[in-house]
Amino acid sequence: MAQPGNCVLIGIFDGVHAGHQELLKRAKAEGRVIALTFYPHPTSIFAPERTPMQLLPLEDRITQLKAHGADEVVVIDFTKEFAALTPEEFIDQILVKQLAATHVVVGENFTFGHKAEGTSQTLQKSKKGFDTTVVKLSENRGNPVSSSRIRGLIFDGDVVRASELLTRSHYLVGPVVHGEKRGREIGYPTANIGLDSLACIPADGVYAGWLTVENIRWAAAISIGTNPTFPGIRGRQVEAYAIDQKDLDLYDHLATIEFTHRLRDTLKFESLDSLLIQMKADCDTAAELTGFTRLK
């Protein structure tokens, strides 16, 4: 029996969302899947001020691509020199010589090569020994599934709709860093997360979700914002309270925060008592939404 050839799937794949998963499924039917992606995002080279926030760090993008069917992930360092390749040079140097492609799968809006002169039709017309499948963009509720659409939902705080398009909860990853320790003083010790400048952070507010450190996962109430109840100047922070956990030492450990539901906007409370009443209500709601049974 002849060995299956290399089916090369090309894209940024930020988020590895439902649309990307459909591409992976189509590619799997054509042979051994090589997901070809690029880092950093091309926009960061030509228009750094418009670099999009990333739905997944690169390492997690690779993990998700493999989880959804890629046999191998190849990451090309996106530089001005690489971007200067003509479509023909990209096909010859990358698809033919480097990856030995026998089939190529791309979305219908795919472009490549110098000044994005190459399109999916360019690939289809190529006579370099591979076939090309062009996949129509997946839709959800009448609109295409795209990374930019998901980012917009997250920026609006609509983490439920975002999870629908991602097929998983949106999450952030970063080390637990020292904060003001105010939560500890009032009985709600939080893990304050240090984040990359490109992290896609939801709108300010309070969320239900999960906090994971060292493979231990706790239901959590998550706060994003500047905490207007307390005086002083502080930057925007993302912090998670592992519900009913009091003596966790998480500093300097890598943490993952998953967002499942938005509970409310960030509010300024007139007293500590009113804040504590609301925080208990937030934790009760977060526990209910995540299926966590609170301690009596």
Which domains are delineated in the chain? 6-144 (3.40.50.620), 170-290 (2.40.30.30)
> In the structure encoding, which two tokens stand for residue 48, read together?
């750094």
> In the structure encoding, which two tokens stand for residue 255, read together?
């943490």
**Helix H segments across the chain?**
18-28, 43-46, 58-67, 80-83, 87-90, 120-125, 147-155, 159-166, 182-185, 272-290
The rounded radius of gyration (Å) of the Cα atoms in the chain is 22
pTM above 0.85, yes or no: yes
Judged against a pLDDT cut of 50, whether residue 137 lies above it is answered with yes
Which residues have C-beta within 8 Å of that of residue 280, sequence separation ≥ 6?
none
Q: Which residue has the higher pLDDT, 227 or 128?
A: 128
> In the structure encoding, which two tokens stand for residue 28, read together?
């799997």
Yes or no: say if 150 and 17 are a contact pair by the CB < 8 Å rule.
yes
13-32 tens-digit pLDDT: 999 999 999 999 999 999 99
C-alpha to C-alpha distance for 66 and 25, rounded to whole angstroms: 12
Angle at 265 between CA 260 and CA 269, to 5 degrees: 130
- Per-residue pLDDT at 185: 64
Give which of 115, 110, 111 is closest to 84, Cα–Cα: 115
C-alpha to C-alpha distance for 49 and 163, rounded to whole angstroms: 27
Judged against a pLDDT cut of 80, whether residue 133 lies above it is answered with yes
Q: What is the mean pLDDT of the chain?
A: 93
240-286 tens-digit pLDDT: 999 999 889 999 999 999 999 999 999 888 888 998 999 999 999 99
208-241 tens-digit pLDDT: 999 999 999 999 999 999 876 555 556 789 999 9
C-alpha to C-alpha distance for 210 and 214, rounded to whole angstroms: 13
Exposed/middle/buried for residue 194 (C-beta within 10 Å: 0-12, 13-18, 19+): middle
C-alpha to C-alpha distance for 261 and 37, rounded to whole angstroms: 31
How much of the chain, in percent, has pLDDT values that exceed 70? 94
C-alpha to C-alpha distance for 8 and 35, rounded to whole angstroms: 6
Which residues have C-beta within 8 Å of that of residue 56, sequence separation ≥ 6?
14, 15, 16, 64
Owner of token pair 């609301």: 278
Which residues have C-beta within 8 Å of that of residue 63, sequence separation ≥ 6?
none
Read off the pLDDT of each residue in 95-114 and give the average, rounded to a whole number: 96
C-alpha to C-alpha distance for 278 and 270, rounded to whole angstroms: 12
156-167 tens-digit pLDDT: 999 999 999 999
